[in-house]
Structure 1
Amino acid sequence: MILNEENSLLKATEATGKSFLLVEDEALIRMMLADMLEELGHRVTAEAGSLAEALSLARDAAFDIAILDINLAGSVSVPAAEVIAERGIPFLFASGYSEAGLPRALGDRPMLRKPFQLKELQGAIRALLGAG
């Protein structure tokens, strides 16, 4: 793994190789997030750009962690988050909005505020996994 100056504090040996479900309606943001995860040593195994896709993947796809945008082209990702929570899979939200619209049961989930940097993503993943 090649590390650039901006993220030189990241260690290649910290890579845990987790698989991710990405739920993001903006394709460019989803691609950028996938690149960031790969740079951290992870892999994206499933991607969704709509609530319908997210629900299907939340039920059936194999992944270790999910990152969900809250607002999916006017729909909220909460139903998919609830399915993921029922499966016992850790997840976090990534949004430019506040968590005010989340149900109380999901209000304690970690949230990354867009835009975020690689180090913030790494910290959120480590905290989610209890390593940080």
Structure 2
Amino acid sequence: MERIADENQLLCGARILIAEDEILIALDIEAAFRDAGADIVGPCATLGSALDAVRKEALSLAVLDVRLGAATTEEVSDLLSERGIPFLFYTGQTLPAEMQRKCDGAVIVDKPATQQDLVDAAAKVLAA
């Protein structure tokens, strides 16, 4: 991803969970969101750490990869939905059929994307 400096701070004050198991991608997402004014929870590289964060943290938004290791983030998206916390997927994979059914209408940003694309998608989800 190309690094941006967002003068408008589109995500100012938002607490965003990053659930991503590829460390370089996670750090890039984190940098993009910090540049846009967000506070970051994570990055969480395992299903357990992501679930723990959703249970314990005050979140404005979550950004989920479809898979964390061998596990899908279906349980994370279910818990986010139960708590009324919006989320989007940032992934290079197709959502499994059950996740497609449950997350119908969820924003999906395809990897790779620019930092600006990801920040814009997050801002759109937060504004909805």
Question: What is the TM-score normalised by the length of structure 2?
Answer: 0.86
Q: Which has the higher contact order (CA 8 A, sep 6+)?
A: 2
More moved, 93-102 vs 61-70: 93-102
Q: Percent identity?
A: 26
Is 1:123 paired with 2:120?
yes
Tell me the CA shift for residue 16 of structure 1. 2.4
User: Aligned-pair distance for 1:80?
Assistant: 0.8
Aligned-partner Cα distance in 2 for 1:113–1:55: 23
- 1:99 touches 1:107 (CA, 8 Å); kept in 2? no
Structure 2 Cα separation of the partners of residues 108 and 13 of structure 1: 26
Task: Provide the residue aligned with 2:91 in structure 1.
Answer: 95
CA distance in 1, matches of 2:88, 2:105: 10
1:5-41 per-residue CA deviation (whole Å, 9 max, x = no partner) reads: x757x53354422111110111111111100111111
Tell me what 2:20 maps to: 24
Q: Tell whether 2:62 aligns with 1:66.
A: yes
State the distance in 2 between where 1:96 and 1:123 align: 18
- Corresponding residue number in structure 2 for 1:76: 72
Q: Is the 8 A contact 1:46 1:61 kept in 2?
A: no
Cα deviation, 1:63-112, whole Å, max 9, x if unaligned, reads 21110111111110010111011100111111001235424121311111
Q: Structure 1: 5+ residue runs without aligned partners?
A: 1-5
Structure number with greater Rg is: 1
Q: What secondary structure, in the 3-state scheme, does the structure 2 residue paired with 1:98 have?
A: coil
Give the ranges of 4+ consecutive aligned residues of structure 1 lying more than 6 Å apart after TM superposition.
none
Asked if structure 1 preserves the Cα contact closer than 8 Å seen for 2:17 and 2:62, the reply is yes
**Structure 1-normalised TM-score?**
0.84
Q: In the alignment, residue 119 of structure 2 is paired with which amino acid?
A: Q
Kept in 2: contact 1:95–1:112 (CA 8 A): yes
Report the RMSD for the aligned CA atoms in angstroms. Answer: 2.1
> Counterpart of 2:85 in 1: which secondary structure?
coil
